[in-house]
C-alpha cells in the first residue's frame, strides 16, 4: 500500500508542476459553422484632388519688323529706267494723237455724208422752186437762196471742226503738262538712287 500511494502522489506532483500551455487566441469567436464576414476588399475612394488653376501666361508682345529699305539701283539700271520711261511717255502721246486723228477722220466722214444728204434734199427744192419756169428773176432768187443756205452749212461744219480741234489741242497740252510733272518726280527718285513709283508710269488708255 505504501509503494502505490507514493507512486500516486508522485504523479500528482508531476502534473501540478507542469506549466499550463497557452491556447492561441482565435481570430474570431464566432460559433462553429458560422463563417465570419470577410474583410471588405473594395478600394477606399481616393481623395478628390481639385486641379489648381494654371498660372495665366501673359502674351509676349510680337516683335515689330521694320521693312528693309529697298536696295539702291546701279547707274546702268537708273539710265535704263530713264530711257524706258521717256519711251513710254512718247508712246502715250502718240496714242493720244492717233485717237485724235481717228476722231478727225470720223468727223470729216460725217460732215461729208451730211453735205451729201443736204444736196440730195436741195435738188428736190430746186425742182419745186423752178417748177413755174426758168425766168431770170426766179433763177436768180433761187441761186441766191441756195448759196446762202450752203454757206450756212459750210460755216457750221467749219465751226464744228474748229471746236473739235481746240478740244484736241487742249487735251494734248494737258497731257504734256502732266507728263512734264511726272517726269520731274521720276527723275527725283532716280537721283536718290531709288526705283520710282509705278503710279508715275504712263497709261496708254489716258
Per residue in 26-40, pLDDT (tens digit) is: 444 443 443 444 444
C-alpha span between 147 and 138 (Å, rounded): 14
DSSP conformation class of 205: T
Q: What is the largest CA-CA distance in the chain?
A: 216
CA distances from 179 to 128, 167, 168, 183 (A): 59, 18, 16, 6
C-alpha span between 148 and 151 (Å, rounded): 5
Q: In the predicted model, what is the mean pLDDT of the chain? A: 75
Predicted pLDDT at 205: 54
Q: How far apart are the first and last CA of the chain?
A: 162
- pLDDT tens per residue, range 73-124: 788 889 999 999 999 999 999 999 999 999 999 999 999 999 999 999 999 8
Amino acid at each position: 500500500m505504501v509503494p502505490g500511494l507514493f507512486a500516486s502522489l508522485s504523479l500528482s506532483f508531476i502534473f501540478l508542476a507542469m506549466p499550463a500551455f497557452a491556447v492561441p487566441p482565435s481570430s474570431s469567436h464566432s460559433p462553429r459553422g458560422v463563417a465570419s464576414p470577410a474583410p471588405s476588399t473594395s478600394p477606399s475612394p481616393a481623395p478628390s484632388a481639385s486641379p489648381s488653376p494654371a498660372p495665366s501666361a501673359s502674351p509676349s508682345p510680337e516683335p515689330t519688323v521694320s521693312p528693309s529699305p529697298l536696295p539702291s539701283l546701279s547707274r546702268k539700271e537708273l539710265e535704263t529706267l530713264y530711257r524706258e520711261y521717256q519711251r513710254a511717255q512718247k508712246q502715250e502721246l502718240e496714242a493720244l494723237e492717233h485717237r485724235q486723228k481717228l476722231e478727225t477722220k470720223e468727223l470729216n466722214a460725217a460732215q461729208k455724208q451730211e453735205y451729201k444728204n443736204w444736196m440730195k434734199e436741195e435738188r428736190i427744192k430746186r425742182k419745186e422752186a423752178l417748177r413755174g419756169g426758168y425766168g431770170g428773176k426766179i433763177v436768180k432768187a433761187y441761186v441766191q437762196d441756195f448759196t446762202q443756205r450752203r454757206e450756212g452749212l459750210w460755216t457750221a461744219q467749219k465751226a464744228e471742226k474748229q471746236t473739235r480741234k481746240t478740244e484736241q489741242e487742249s487735251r494734248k497740252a494737258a497731257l504734256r503738262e502732266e507728263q512734264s510733272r511726272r517726269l520731274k518726280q521720276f527723275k527725283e527718285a532716280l537721283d536718290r538712287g531709288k526705283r520710282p513709283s509705278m503710279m508715275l508710269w504712263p497709261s496708254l488708255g489716258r
